[in-house]
Amino acid sequence: MPTPYFKKMPTVVIPPLMRKLTDGEENITIPGTTIREVISNLDDRYPGMKERLCEEYRLKPGIAVYINGLLTRGSILDRVDTDAEIHFLPAISGGVAAPPD
Amino acid sequence: MDEKKEYKVIGTRPIRHDGVDKVTGRALYGADVQMAGLLHGRVLRSPHAHARIISIDTSRAEAYPGVKGVVTAADLPEAEDRIADLGEGAVNLKYLCDNILASDKALYKGHAVAAVAATSPHIAEEACQLIDVEYEVLEPVLEVRQAMESDAPLLHDSIRTTSMGETADEPSNVASHIQHKLGDPDKGFEEADITVERDFVTGTVHQGYIEPHNATAQFNQDGHLTIWCSTQGAFTVREQVAEILQYPVSKIKVIPMEIGGGFGGKISVYIKPVAALLAKKTGKPVKVLMSRTDVFEGTGPTPASYIRVKMGATNDGKITAAEAYLAFEAGAYPGSPVGPGAMCIFAPYSIENVVIDGYDVVVNKPKTAPYRAPGAPNAAFGSESVLDEIAEKLGIDPLEIRLLNAAKEGDRRADGPVHPRIGFVETVEAAKSHPHYTAPNGKKHHGRGVASGYWFNIGLESSVTINVNADGTINLIEGSTDIGGTRSSIAMQAAEVLGIPAESVNPSVVDTNSVGYTAVTGGSRTTYATGYAAYEAAQDVKRQMIGRAAKLWEVEEANVQFADGVFSSINGKEEEISFRDLCSHLGQTGGPIVGSGTVNPGGAGGAYATHLVDVAVDEETGKVEILRYTAIQDAGRAIHPSYVEGQIQGGAVQGIGWALNEEYIYNDEGAMTNASFLDYRMPTCLDLPMIDAVIIEVPNPGHPYGVRGVGEVPIVPPLPAIANAIYDAIGVRMTELPMSPDRLLKAMGKI
Amino acid sequence: MARKSHVQTTINGETVEFLCESRQSLLEVLRDELHLTGAKEGCNNGNCGACSVILDGRLVNSCLVLGVETEGKSVETIEGLAEPDQLHPIQNAFLENAALQCGICTPGFIMSAKALLESNPNPTEHEIRYWLAGNLCRCTGYDKIVKAVMDVAKASA
Amino acid sequence: MQDFGYVAAKTVSEAVTLLDEKGQTARILAGGTDLIVQVREARRDVDLMIDIKSIPEVNVLDYNADTGLTLGAAVECYKVYAVDEICNAYPGLIDATKIIGGTAIQGRAGVGGNLCNASPAADCIPPLIVLNATAVIAGPNGERELPVEQFCTGPGQTALENGEMLVSMKIPAPASNSSSFYLRFIPRNEMDIAVVGAGASVTLDDAKQTIVSARISLGAVAPTPLFAEEASALLAGREVSDAAIDEAAAAAQAIARPISDMRGTAEQRTHLVGVLTRRALNGAIQRI
């Protein structure tokens, strides 16, 4: 795991159904400047996390990311500030809940 | 953003730009498409709710005079079992294709099986009856709790329950499980002085747009496919058709005609790919229309659901914990709106300890589609009824208990994110001071109810292009189909930027070849996001116009300012020119000006509503009459208040219909027995009073003019508000929708 | 193929001739044969009023009239309402009151309102709601439609 | 929609001859608001529609205070309620004509068509029954008359023989101190089919204290509209009172044999028969 360079780091709120992977931890502080980096670093600490959240270049269908409470288009390339709060949630778009894979 | 800013155009009520076309019958809707050589398509649908398709023989239909082509699922490209990213959400491609034309199984009565193109619609319809389909009829499962049983008939062998990326081993009708959790619910319930827990059941209901689905397709010899249709989003039609036909988007042009209502139901495609297949097969343009029965049986309603809500509060009314279990019917394929339901259910309140479980469950009914705040009305029926009961048991005014627990900026929602500036408290306070709430209501069997609702709204992509005309007007090109006056609410935002009257904007909704990508008219996003794009495009025009003024006056651009529709030089020369006059100098200052704006904004801002309703209950017949209705809503900023009121009134009335009479009624074989406007019983104007729409404006920080989406949240409060009013009238808690006369008679013990 | 009959009728004051099959409704004839697409199909069984036209002075659902039945009769449709240089007062009232959203039901409501105001120029709100109950609108909640018709009645009173 | 022929008959005999020749697949077209929908939805097989609206006899609308009303089979609802004398004489029938469909339907649909369609839930049939209406029927062997309560034989089935058509309905002049009432229960306020319908006619004595005679009829609770004969009979000679009306309502409930369908449940319908019978009787009495 890379040495944290940042003084402050983004916080990821782990969805309840994924807390098995984090031994019940809800809020994980983890380095990263993009969602991709954050997920990658999470996976280093809690193996399996990446597989649950990602496909090759994108979030898994059915999963959305909120950064500081704002719904983005769900791109793993979205940048995150050092004080960002990140939520992974069931995807909802266009008034539609995306079906699971 | 300056909250006190006075606007010249925003907040006024100009005549809508497409108004004259629509009151003279000239506006062209999808079914109005006429062209030489046009063939007419009709779809054959499954008479069974659950059946294996053994064989389809189309030979008799093909031989029928006047028939030019017949298609079945065999004419679709082989669908891979993969996820298609449709921009508006990811969909399993096989499910998407199978819903267009059933391949191996028919999964609901009305499921499309084959289609015919013929020289007249009557011949096409007759020929459908000549298609011989052999079915092996299977047992259907029609109710969410039954479908969740381990011994229930399985719709799909391939579905295994997923929970945030984790997949179960055994096949099931439960497609997914989601959960939100905040704090420690067990501890929260221990702290409660009073706990109320109830079960709720809601029926399947339809959007009920008056215009049936339609599509006309033409396939040119060079491979270019053109589709004229009624849709909430031309680009999503293009994406879906491209995926289903496995055809490049660049060869598909979708021309959105005027749309006769959608409410979420005209996002998914049904007959558009079928029209394309028939057009390809026949080499002629083919128009496919649905009948009203096709619409009820073959398009997505919003789901029936089973909901359990438990809330605990202290004696002084503070909610200490809340728990919800939501099981939603997805219809034949996964994808119910249980996600939004789970997200919205407790969102009006700041509650420390919450757990919400949601289940997406397939049943033998049409695949559900979004319907105005999908999932939220079902959920609010449960939560707002339980809160009303807590308030009543504690002897606290129902609006006071809402104020006491109201979510505010900075409070955390159960699904995680923190609320930005929201206007919930303001809606409740407006309700408290409204004359409706203080009016006497003492008559026997008259009752008053209140309820609140939340919808999160969305942003998504929008593109706008502005072409500046020499006479000082602008042509505004957009990709959002106009279902309720959005041409005007978008045009007005551009007009405000440019200091010109709303009438000086000519807005056009154009095809997919003629404007940048624009997501659907849905999610209450159009005035917000496409309006935002229009704002940006107008800013682009403004910047360019400043350059032209600078050139005209031979000054630096930095020395030109623009205010109230007038450019002026602020340094050196004392020059002034109006936007209109500068437009006549475009040729000599550098040529035409085209401004563009594209956005994908994240700050849609949630919308809140609080409704008040008075009802009279006929104790002998169980019939509920709506006596008075007041709907209060935070619109952020009402661009065109008349159409904001219209959204509020229309949403409230759809909610009234849902609350009182609307439902799909099924027989044991899984056939809908009321698939007509006669027996589906949507409200007529004789069933309603005037709906007093009260607009509150708490500007949304995520939009330059403070706009919040307004279209969806008004359908959320009516269900519980009416249930609470019925309780007030007769002392009976209704927990099943619709609260139709026979259910009331049963609840009152009369039958 | 079904045989077609020759029919002569008056539509919006003009004599019109057309050929149609017996099974074609007046709505189909207007839309598909005469390309007068202002009358809309919402349900095709008389329950939504989107196809309302006036036949020999009386409001009807054009989906429930056969084209062949209109021989020698007079039909008024939405297309015949406005003057070349001005809208009918009901059309203006609908615009001023924002009494339409998607607009698909609008031609039917306007024809229905016209028939009402011709038979009862000064209706009460209840009479308006009773008369218009055969026209479904799913967008507006009817509030602004009823107000538009009340406005026209008031202006002519 | 299936293909069919169309004839605009000019005389009763022309229509009767065609009906006789073509048999069951020829149907009379009057307002068309039921027939066209049934053919479109493939619920009825029709080869020929015989439009009777140009036949003089079926357009008669003639009221005479002594002899009563002759109501042609094709007279549209709106024409019936436009005549004040008819509204005053037969308010129960007017109640029905004003709630069939919406205004646009009432521009085409008529009482005769409502009778011939023979729906168990038809709104006009209970009032016709309580008003002692008779059906005037023309056929290959001439004319005959039939009390309306015998006209319907099952859902969509009538006593019309092959080649026969309804020409008109005759309703006797109302007795003094009498009136009539019809109401239905529907979940909405218009544009609905009766979950239950109830019609009543009542004649009181000159003091308006005692019921001389009454007739009660029920819709949508049996395969045909019912004449509630016992319930009607037990009111004769009784003082106007809640007790008498309750007894009649209970007797009416006793003959209801409703089904459950998408419009209502059997229990709901049986319950509503009692409620609506009381309301119909009280409504008729209040009009006297």
Taking 80 as the threshold, does the pLDDT of residue A80 lie above it? yes
Work out the burial of residue D23: count CB atoms within 10 Å of its CB; fewer than 13 is exposed, 13-18 middle, 19 or more buried: exposed
Least-confidence region, from A23-37, B77-91, B98-112 = B77-91
**How far does the CA of residue D105 sit from the closest CA of chain C (Å)?**
6
**Would you give the DSSP letter of residue B367?**
P
Q: What is the dihedral of CA D89, D92, D96, D98, to 10 degrees?
A: 50
Q: What are B677-723's pLDDT values in tens digits?
A: 999 999 999 999 999 999 999 999 999 999 999 999 999 999 999 99
Instruction: Measure Cα distances from B162 to A63, A100, B165, D20 in Å.
Output: 12, 7, 6, 67
Tell me the backbone φ, ψ of residue B567, rounded to 5 degrees: -90, 140
**CATH class given for the domain over B30-138+213-289:** alpha beta
Verify whether the Cβ–Cβ distance A52 to B458 is below 8 Å: no
Which candidate from B19, B484, B677 shows the least CB-CB separation from C43?
Answer: B677
Instruction: Measure Cα distances from B97 to B104, B233, B239, D171 in Å.
Output: 11, 19, 13, 61
What are the boundaries of each domain within chain A? 11-97
Supply B680's token pair.
């589906």
Contacts of A16 in chain B (CB under 8 A): 179-181, 355
Provide the chain C residues 63-122 that lie in CB contact (below 8 A) with chain D: 63-66, 68-69, 71, 112, 115-116
Q: How many CA atoms lie within 13 A of B279 on its CB side?
A: 26
With an 8 Å CB cutoff and a minimum of 3 pairs, decide whether chains D and A touch.
no
**Nearest chain C residue (CA) to B647:** C140
pLDDT, mean over chain D: 97
What are the boundaries of each domain within chain C? 4-80, 89-156
- Give the three-state DSSP class for C43: coil
Which candidate from D190, D262, D264 shows the least CB-CB separation from B673?
Answer: D262
Between chain A and chain B, the number of residue pairs with CB atoms below 8 A apart is 153
**How far does the CA of residue B121 sit from the closest CA of chain A (Å)?**
33
Tell me the backbone φ, ψ of residue D282, rounded to 5 degrees: -60, -40
**How far does the CA of residue B615 sit from the closest CA of chain C (Å)?**
17
| A55: confidence class by pLDDT, cuts 50, 70, 90 | confident
Touching check for D103 and chain C: CB below 8 Å?
A: yes
Which candidate from C2, C60, C71 shows the least CB-CB separation from D104?
Answer: C60
pLDDT (0 to 100) of residue B90: 64
Average pLDDT over residues A37-63: 86
Taking 90 as the threshold, does the pLDDT of residue B166 lie above it? no
| D217: confidence class by pLDDT, cuts 50, 70, 90 | very high
Least-confidence region, from A44-58, B523-537, D214-228, D233-247 = A44-58
Average pLDDT over residues B530-538: 98
- For A11-97, CATH number? 3.10.20.30
Q: Which of B80, B164, B239, B700 to mutate to test the interface with A (most CBs of A within 10 A)?
A: B164
Contact D180, D194 (CB under 8 A): no
Q: Which of B291, B665, B681, B722 to mutate to test the interface with D (most CBs of D within 10 A)?
A: B681
Q: What are D17-74's pLDDT values in tens digits?
A: 999 999 989 999 999 999 999 999 999 999 999 999 999 999 999 999 999 999 999 9
State how far the Cα of D27 lies from the Cα of D130, in Å rounded to an integer: 28
Verify whether the Cβ–Cβ distance B742 to D2 is below 8 Å: no
| D95: confidence class by pLDDT, cuts 50, 70, 90 | very high
Under 8 Å CB-to-CB from C51, ≥6 apart: which residues?
C27, C39, C40, C41, C42, C61, C62, C63, C108
With an 8 Å CB cutoff and a minimum of 3 pairs, decide whether chains A and C touch.
no
- For C89-156, CATH number? 1.10.150.120
Contact B615, B625 (CB under 8 A): yes
Supply D272's token pair.
């509503």
Q: What is the dihedral of CA C116, C122, C125, C131, to 10 degrees?
A: -20
Verify whether the Cβ–Cβ distance B661 to D262 is below 8 Å: no
Verify whether the Cβ–Cβ distance B750 to D271 is below 8 Å: yes
pLDDT (0 to 100) of residue B603: 87
| A60: confidence class by pLDDT, cuts 50, 70, 90 | confident
Touching check for D274 and chain C: CB below 8 Å?
A: no
Verify whether the Cβ–Cβ distance B343 to A53 is below 8 Å: no
Touching check for A64 and chain B: CB below 8 Å?
A: no
Contact C20, C4 (CB under 8 A): yes
Taking 50 as the threshold, does the pLDDT of residue A93 lie above it? no
The answer for B472, left when phi > 0, alpha when psi is -120 to 50, beta otherwise, is left
Chains touching A (3+ CB pairs < 8 Å): B
With an 8 Å CB cutoff and a minimum of 3 pairs, decide whether chains B and A touch.
yes
Domain with CATH 3.30.365.10 in chain B: 305-457+605-747, 460-599
Touching check for C126 and chain D: CB below 8 Å?
A: no
Q: What is the pLDDT along chain C (157 residues), one digit of tens a residue?
A: 578 999 999 999 999 999 999 999 999 999 999 999 999 999 999 999 999 999 999 999 999 999 999 999 999 999 999 999 999 999 999 999 999 999 999 999 999 999 999 999 999 999 999 999 999 999 999 999 999 999 999 998 7
Q: What is the dihedral of CA D242, D248, D253, D257, to 10 degrees?
A: -160
Average pLDDT over residues B48-59: 98
**How far does the CA of residue D8 sit from the closest CA of chain C (Å)?**
8
Q: What are D106-144's pLDDT values in tens digits?
A: 999 999 999 999 999 999 999 999 999 999 999 999 999
pLDDT (0 to 100) of residue B91: 73
* Preceding amide of B738 cis, omega within 30: yes
Structurally, what CATH architecture does the domain formed by B305-457+605-747 represent?
Answer: 2-Layer Sandwich (3.30)
Touching check for D246 and chain B: CB below 8 Å?
A: no
**How far does the CA of residue C29 sit from the closest CA of chain D (Å)?**
15
Touching check for A56 and chain B: CB below 8 Å?
A: no
CA neighbor of B530 nearest in space, from B378, B711, B270: B711
pLDDT (0 to 100) of residue C1: 56
Question: Which position has the token pair 């589609």?
Answer: B369
Contacts of D2 in chain B (CB under 8 A): 126
Taking 90 as the threshold, does the pLDDT of residue A98 lie above it? no
Which candidate from A62, A72, A96 shows the least CB-CB separation from B370?
Answer: A96
**Nearest chain A residue (CA) to B417:** A69
**Would you give the DSSP letter of residue B4?**
T
**Would you give the DSSP letter of residue B668?**
T
Instruction: Mark D213-235 as b/e (b = at least 16 C-beta within 10 Å).
Output: ebbbbbbbbbebbbbbeebbebb
Taking 70 as the threshold, does the pLDDT of residue B572 lie above it? no
Touching check for C98 and chain B: CB below 8 Å?
A: yes
**Would you give the DSSP letter of residue B29?**
B
Supply A94's token pair.
């266009």
Q: How many CA atoms lie within 13 A of B155 on its CB side?
A: 34
Work out the burial of residue B63: count CB atoms within 10 Å of its CB; fewer than 13 is exposed, 13-18 middle, 19 or more buried: exposed
**Nearest chain C residue (CA) to B690:** C143
**Would you give the DSSP letter of residue B686?**
G
Verify whether the Cβ–Cβ distance C69 to D191 is below 8 Å: no
Q: What are D155-198's pLDDT values in tens digits?
A: 999 999 999 999 999 999 999 999 999 999 999 999 999 999 99
Under 8 Å CB-to-CB from B62, ≥6 apart: which residues?
B69, B70
**How far does the CA of residue B647 sit from the closest CA of chain C (Å)?**
7
**How far does the CA of residue C98 sit from the closest CA of chain D (Å)?**
24
Provide the chain C residues 31-70 that lie in CB contact (below 8 A) with chain B: 31-32, 35-45, 47-48, 50
pLDDT (0 to 100) of residue A94: 38
Verify whether the Cβ–Cβ distance B740 to D187 is below 8 Å: yes
CATH topology for B460-599?
A: Aldehyde Oxidoreductase; domain 4 (3.30.365)
Contacts of C105 in chain B (CB under 8 A): 210, 260
Average pLDDT over residues B207-235: 97
Instruction: Measure Cα distances from B184 to B339, B414, C132 in Å.
Output: 22, 12, 54
Instruction: Give ∠ CA C106-C111-C113 in degrees, rounded to 5.
Output: 90
**How far does the CA of residue D84 sit from the closest CA of chain B (Å)?**
25
Average pLDDT over residues A37-49: 92
Contacts of D53 in chain C (CB under 8 A): 69
Verify whether the Cβ–Cβ distance C66 to D49 is below 8 Å: yes
State how far the Cα of A55 lies from the Cα of B480, in Å rounded to an integer: 31
CATH topology for C4-80?
A: Ubiquitin-like (UB roll) (3.10.20)
Q: In what order do the strands lie in the sheet with B560-563?
A: B560-563, B566-569, B576-578
What is the DSSP code string of D209-264? -BEEEEEEEEESSSSS-EE-HHHHHTTTT-BS-HHHHHHHHHHHHHH-----BTTB
pLDDT (0 to 100) of residue A20: 87
Taking 50 as the threshold, does the pLDDT of residue B28 lie above it? yes
Bridge partners, B644 (sequence order): none
Which candidate from D191, D262, D272 shows the least CB-CB separation from B674?
Answer: D262
Verify whether the Cβ–Cβ distance A100 to B334 is below 8 Å: yes
Other C-beta atoms closer than 10 Å to the C-beta of D107 total: 27
Q: What are C35-69's pLDDT values in tens digits?
A: 999 999 999 999 999 999 999 999 999 999 999 99
Chains touching D (3+ CB pairs < 8 Å): B, C
Verify whether the Cβ–Cβ distance B25 to C38 is below 8 Å: yes
State how far the Cα of B497 lies from the Cα of B562, in Å rounded to an integer: 10
Touching check for A44 and chain B: CB below 8 Å?
A: no
State how far the Cα of B427 lies from the Cα of B485, in Å rounded to an integer: 24
Contacts of C124 in chain B (CB under 8 A): none
Contact B51, B138 (CB under 8 A): yes
**How far does the CA of residue D267 sit from the closest CA of chain B (Å)?**
6
Higher confidence at residue B602 or residue B190? B190
pLDDT, mean over chain C: 97
Instruction: Measure Cα distances from D157 to D117, D160, D163 in Å.
Output: 8, 8, 15
